[in-house]
Structure 1
Amino acid sequence: MMREFEIERQFDIKIEKLKANKGVYYLKTDKGERCLKKINYGPQKLLFVYGAKEHLAKNGFTNLDKYYLNIDDEPYALVNEDLYTLSEWLDGKECDFHNIEEVKMAAKTLAELHEASKGYDPPENSKLKSDLGRWPHLMEKRIKSFDKMRDMVRKKNIKNDFDIAYIQSMDFYKEIGKKALDTLKSSAYYELCAIAEVDKSFCHHDYTYHNIILSPNKDVYVIDFDYCKREVRMFDISNFMIKVLKRVDWNFDFAAAILEEYNSVSKLSKDEYKVLFAYLQFPQRYWRLANRYYYNEVNWAQNTFAGKLNGIVEEQELFLKFLEKFKSEYNI
């Protein structure tokens, strides 16, 4: 009860109804429907996210979950050392990544978001979040970790299904990871980072179906900017593309449609296509799953991990075919 009272006091609202909903709370208040969310990072980082959303809205990108301020003009409530944000409750449905028309709308919206992100100066006491210039190092580190994880498996007396599948498939992904790193190293990656630095642009960094909301009248809203940071836009584009493509058997038509829609708003350069290709090549999903498994990052059941790994491995042929087509289609 104390917690609700504090939320009401700090945001100057009266809560009429509160309901947990997919990791957030739906609130019916005297001032309308709201979304209450517990934040697992500090106020300085939150100020960067708050400033980013305000900047987008100021630049005409208003279809997002803007924060409401508390009675002290801060974008959060502090309750028992926990931070909570309050935003408008957005009615709508999650973007269907199997539906090419909805995917195209999401691609166009991403380009609009990136354009509106330019010129962002974070608030004074915020913590600047940036991944600019980090990717060659990150890829190198992750390629090395494939061997480290294999050594962990070799030391195990009893190997389970996941271990065996990992040992059998690891070399393929390590090699493709090296190719991705070579692509990135031979690209204009650092020059593009310098341009992004000058542009003062940022990426959403978690642009996926549950953060893309289609309203009843087919407006596209983008929510959950928790991971947004300074980054080259090809990261967002590749991340979005992979999330779509893995659901549609690496269907090239979806990739072409995404890029066509994106380009209709904001044109990608030849240099950017090469960096985009490096990101698409890199076996990020495979690395992340193995990393989560061997370093106990999530508590999934044993068969969930093995099932996910086999699912990725089964895509190998389609994935390679897709990369070949992408390479020839965009002259990389």
Structure 2
Amino acid sequence: MYDRGLSVLEQYGLEAKSTYRGRGALICDTQAGLVQIREYNGSPRKLGYQAKLLEIVSTRNQISVDSLLPNQEGAYVSTDKDNIPYVVKRWYEGRECDTQSMKDIKRSVTALASLHKTMKMPVQTHYVKEPLLMEYERKNRELRKIRKFVCQKRRKNDFELRYLDSIACYLWHAEEAQRRLNSSEYEDLRCRSLEAGDVCHGEYNQHNVLMLAQNTAVINFDRWHYDVQMEDLYQFMRKILEKHNWDLEMGRQMLLAYHEEKPLSVQELENLRIRFAYPEKYWKLANYYYSHSKAWISEKNLEKLEKLIAQHDNWMNFVENISV
């Protein structure tokens, strides 16, 4: 229903003057300003740490964040009459980052760099992400497993044929990125990041950056974790650059925007280059194919694969030449 979860506002001493739908949530205008009500199925323990993280950012940074509100009993999770758990967050009136606007893109990158300076907490081992080396090893095993599976199929559809045509090239890139990472100073960089308590947003993309009239807001920290913060910068840049055919100058402007706010070390730059060198989108397409029904492959997935292959040379040019 449209007002699903609205009743939990009573537990916060709030009353909605008006409501409207957001992305999978309810936005309410209350006497305390805009708040968001969203179902929550995660860990209450992690949510408590998330609240601490957002409190740290709120008190030390000019960037606005969707801070969690405690109910009148001091809890961050509230259940309605149907026993459905909800969280209530502070909310902002703004528009998402426009991926066609260089001004918005640079503003988003600057906001990320600013956040990274204050997103630090004592490490809780439960929320440390697996090492990138382990991630690459796992993904490369999966690529080889999928290749074997497709090779053994008698009748192959267009996606599978195109995949077999391209797998040798992309698997080489994947294994080369793993080798580069293994011989880099990644372990030292990761150890120093964990010692500093560096936290990543975990899902930093255009949908989670809001352009406000006087400020920038960053939302949806639910996937936060401890890791080298280059992960956030890489994820944001990759999503943007895929939409712009790996435009080298655009990439340089994004890197410069970050560097001007939070200078990048030699190790961070090298780690970022290695991340860009890994064929992440190719692995995602292959993994999606393998983990879903293979009896019917949508034309859209084939189109994505064809587009990715068409971008290969521009992607390689970017990987080889990107710098601040």
Q: Normalising to structure 2: TM-score of the pair? A: 0.91
| Contact 1:11–1:77 (CA under 8 A) maintained in structure 2 | no
Offset of residue 39 of structure 1: 2.3
The 2-side partners of 1:301 and 1:26 are apart by 37
| Contact 1:183–1:274 (CA under 8 A) maintained in structure 2 | no
| Contact 1:45–1:127 (CA under 8 A) maintained in structure 2 | no
Kindly provide the amino acid, as one letter, of the partner of residue 276 in structure 2: L
Give the direction of change, closer, same or farther, for the CA distance of 1:324–1:14 in structure 2 (3 Å limit).
same
The 2-side partners of 1:131 and 1:142 are apart by 15
Partner residue in 1 for 2:50:
49
Match of 1:207 among 204, 209, 212: 204
Q: Give yes or no for the alignment of 1:243 onto 2:243.
A: no
The runs of 5 or more residues in structure 2 that have no matched partner are none
What are the superposed Cα offsets for residues 10-63 of structure 1, whole Å, 9 maximum, x if unpaired? 233223444332222122334433211122322122222222211211222451
1:101-250 aligned within 5 A? 101-118=103-120, 120-121=121-122, 128-131=126-129, 134-217=131-214, 219-250=215-246
1:9-24 aligned within 5 A? 9-24=10-25
The 1-side partners of 2:195 and 2:246 are apart by 35
| Deviates further, 70-79 or 313-322 | 70-79
1:50-69 aligned within 5 A? 50-69=51-70
The 2-side partners of 1:314 and 1:149 are apart by 22
| Contact 2:246–2:318 (CA under 8 A) maintained in structure 1 | yes
Offset of residue 158 of structure 1: 3.2
What are the superposed Cα offsets for residues 219-255 of structure 1, whole Å, 9 maximum, x if unpaired? 2111110111101011111111111111111111111
Q: Give yes or no for the alignment of 1:260 onto 2:272.
A: no
| Deviates further, 6-15 or 66-75 | 6-15
Offset of residue 78 of structure 1: 2.8
Root-mean-square deviation (Å): 2.3
Q: Give yes or no for the alignment of 1:99 onto 2:96.
A: no
The 1-side partners of 2:62 and 2:53 are apart by 11
Give the direction of change, closer, same or farther, for the CA distance of 1:153–1:207 in structure 2 (3 Å limit).
same
Partner residue in 1 for 2:76:
75
Give the direction of change, closer, same or farther, for the CA distance of 1:4–1:16 in structure 2 (3 Å limit).
farther
Give the direction of change, closer, same or farther, for the CA distance of 1:224–1:59 in structure 2 (3 Å limit).
same
What are the superposed Cα offsets for residues 278-306 of structure 1, whole Å, 9 maximum, x if unpaired? 11111111111211221129xx9712222
The 2-side partners of 1:3 and 1:210 are apart by 23
Kindly provide the amino acid, as one letter, of the partner of residue 128 in structure 2: S
Q: Normalising to structure 1: TM-score of the pair? A: 0.89
Q: Give yes or no for the alignment of 1:275 onto 2:277.
A: no
The 2-side partners of 1:9 and 1:157 are apart by 61
Give the direction of change, closer, same or farther, for the CA distance of 1:314–1:81 in structure 2 (3 Å limit).
farther
Give the direction of change, closer, same or farther, for the CA distance of 1:189–1:199 in structure 2 (3 Å limit).
same
User: Which secondary structure state, in structure 2, belongs to the residue aligned with residue 246 of structure 1?
Assistant: helix
Give the direction of change, closer, same or farther, for the CA distance of 1:157–1:40 in structure 2 (3 Å limit).
farther
| Contact 1:25–1:37 (CA under 8 A) maintained in structure 2 | yes
The share of aligned pairs that are identical, in percent, is 25
Offset of residue 6 of structure 1: 4.5
Offset of residue 172 of structure 1: 1.3
The 2-side partners of 1:212 and 1:162 are apart by 34
The runs of 5 or more residues in structure 1 that have no matched partner are none
Kindly provide the amino acid, as one letter, of the partner of residue 256 in structure 1: R
